[in-house]
Structure 1
Amino acid sequence: MENNKLTELIIEKGLMIIAILSIIIILLIIGFIVVEGMPAIEQIGFFNFIFGMKWAPKDEVYGVFPMIIGTLEMMAISLVIAVPLSIGCSVFMTEYANNTMNRILKPTIQSLAGIPSVIYGFFGLVVLVPFIRDHFGGTGFSLIAASIILSIMILPTIISVSEDAIYAVPSAMKEASYGLGATKWQTIYKVILPTAAPGIVTAIILGMGRAIGETMAVIMVAGNVAQIPGSIFEPVRVLTSNIALEMGYAIDLHYNALFATGIILLIVIMILIAIADYVAYKSRIEGSGDL
């Protein structure tokens, strides 16, 4: 008995140490980015850096506003495409598909998550970009091309987490709905999805993080022009691509400006996650009130 208590204590303390180390590592990474990026923000000016419309390292002009807009637009479009497909697929797999269909769908979806991002980018470069160029004009390297590729990449994450959230809905709630005369679709729409909403929002948060943080596939299909796109068929450059494209040769203020771009990216991500967490919290509160 004493050995069991000692083992549990060691495991508990070990997990606590791992958690603390994880937090410390994250804080060190954030601190390094802030230390390296602050000289650029101090020299350029915070508002000039954020709301500047031009990024021209040769002229020592650094403004990331077009890239912030491009990042948000790309994320929004990819979520608009991916979220309905993901939730629909999750509902089908949990409520309609038989065992045979699930044995086919699950490995297929999981395999999408294991494909390297460069492969998605290569697919977009070879197939999607020429298709857009031939049917919609322009070069094909565009906001919509990057958004479509990203929507495919985040599908497995949102589907898997949403599926778990739907499975976690108590069967008693479904049976009660059926007992009151509700149809299967009414039960899904009125009972299952609202109850699973916090988990589904979490899935969307994870997909959103993947969409914002993706670099390689976006570089290959977005066009990488630092401008606010006038349409979804125009090229765009996002914050992550800007860092990846220029870090290899950046020096002095340019180098610090790229780290400052990382600071802006962190701020954008934290704001979006805070909003999504608030939505999830409100969903849980409303769900508890309904119960």
Structure 2
Amino acid sequence: MSGIFFVCGMIAIAFVLFITIFLVTSGVPAIGKIGITDFLFGSVWASTAADPKFGILPFILTSVYGTLGAIVIAVPIGLLCSIFLAKMASSKIAELIRAAVELLAGIPSVVYGLVGMIVIVPMIRNAFHLADGANLLSAIIVLSVMVLPNVISVSETALLAVPKEYEEASLALGATWTETVFKVSVPAASSGIASAVVLGVGRAIGEAMAVMMVSGNVANMPGLFKSVRFLTTAIASEMSYSSGLQRQALFSIALVLFIFIMIITLLLNFVFKSKKE
């Protein structure tokens, strides 16, 4: 059995190496032709123009702002929901909420995008008196809802794994149940909660279909009420008709996105690990 487990682990590593090699070999040539400065810091993307421009800075900033916005909204709500499910709710209510969370996790991305187009986009347009509600704010709201199931499920599992002795000792010292939950249980489950945040970041930054439907999909520099395009949507929207240098540039965007996710994941793991130690 140990040999089977070892082989499975090596297969996972092999997939990561294969994806890495494929993206590097496919994406580096275009960066060399365009120039790394023009590619990463250029503010204009006009891949089909007579004089094409391949600047992806608007895509990078949009992805950063969209992910941060979704995490800022989803993490507090998801953490409080997981605390309620794990430590405060009755068994019947907890089962009902868990079923709803599982249903949220199973809804396809395109359905989130469709609901966002029908509900969120008109709501944002009417609330802020805009010409078009398909903008960064709409994308952030949709992403935050999509991130919630990951944050809730993983955080709840971490909270349920906290030894009962910790909480009993806190109660024996005179702390209330609420104080025990927030000052003992949550800190003890911090590593699991950190994993939930990392998973949420990965889900938010890697989403394409839903944000394409509600963000306007226009290569503008990001603004809360401006139509924008994410790194993922830039690839999805142009890959079907791309060719030549344009196609190579899309692979370069995929390489940047891959490196971006890897850096964020490693950085978050390092921060939470240092805090835990």
Q: Confirm or deny a common fold (TM above 0.5).
A: yes
The amino acid that maps onto 1:215 is A
1:81: Cα distance to partner? Answer: 0.8
The amino acid that maps onto 1:284 is K
Contact 1:198 1:283 in 2 (8 A): no
1:180: Cα distance to partner? Answer: 1.0
Structure 2 equivalent of residue 289 of structure 1: none
Root-mean-square deviation (CA), in Å? 1.0
- Tell which structure's C-alpha radius of gyration is larger: 1
Aligned residues: 274
Q: For structure 1, list consecutive stretches of 5 or more residues without a partner in the other structure.
A: 1-10, 286-291
Given the alignment of the two structures, is residue 51 of structure 1 paired with residue 44 of structure 2, yes or no? no
Q: Distance in 1 between matches of 2:188 and 2:208?
A: 34
Where in structure 2 are the equivalents of 1:53-68 lying within 5 Å?
Answer: 53-57=43-47, 58=49, 59-68=51-60
Structure 1 equivalent of residue 101 of structure 2: 109
Structure 1 equivalent of residue 187 of structure 2: 194
Structure 2 equivalent of residue 8 of structure 1: none
Q: Which deviations, in whole Å up to 9, do the C-alpha atoms of 1:254-291 show, x marking residues without a partner?
A: 11100000111111111110111012212321xxxxxx
Q: Distance in 1 between matches of 2:35 and 2:150?
A: 38
1:103: Cα distance to partner? Answer: 1.6
Contact 2:142 2:210 in 1 (8 A): yes
Given the alignment of the two structures, is residue 203 of structure 1 paired with residue 206 of structure 2, yes or no? no
Contact 2:220 2:226 in 1 (8 A): no
Q: Distance in 2 between matches of 1:106 and 1:60?
A: 50
Secondary structure, counterpart of 1:87 in structure 2? helix
The amino acid that maps onto 1:128 is I
Structure 2 equivalent of residue 93 of structure 1: 85
TM-score normalised by length of structure 1 = 0.92
- Against the structure 1 CA distance between its residues 62 and 263, is the aligned structure 2 distance closer, same or farther, given a 3 Å change threshold? same
Structure 2 equivalent of residue 165 of structure 1: 158
Where in structure 2 are the equivalents of 1:1-291 lying within 5 Å?
Answer: 11-57=1-47, 58=49, 59-136=51-128, 137-230=130-223, 232-285=224-277
Secondary structure, counterpart of 1:237 in structure 2? coil
TM-score normalised by length of structure 2 = 0.97
Secondary structure, counterpart of 2:175 in structure 1? coil
Q: For structure 2, list consecutive stretches of 5 or more residues without a partner in the other structure.
A: none
Q: Distance in 2 between matches of 1:30 and 1:246?
A: 22
1:113: Cα distance to partner? Answer: 0.4
Contact 1:197 1:283 in 2 (8 A): no
> How much identity, in percent, do the aligned residues show?
43
Q: Distance in 2 between matches of 1:65 and 1:103?
A: 45
Q: Distance in 1 between matches of 2:233 and 2:115?
A: 18
1:34: Cα distance to partner? Answer: 1.2
Secondary structure, counterpart of 1:105 in structure 2? helix
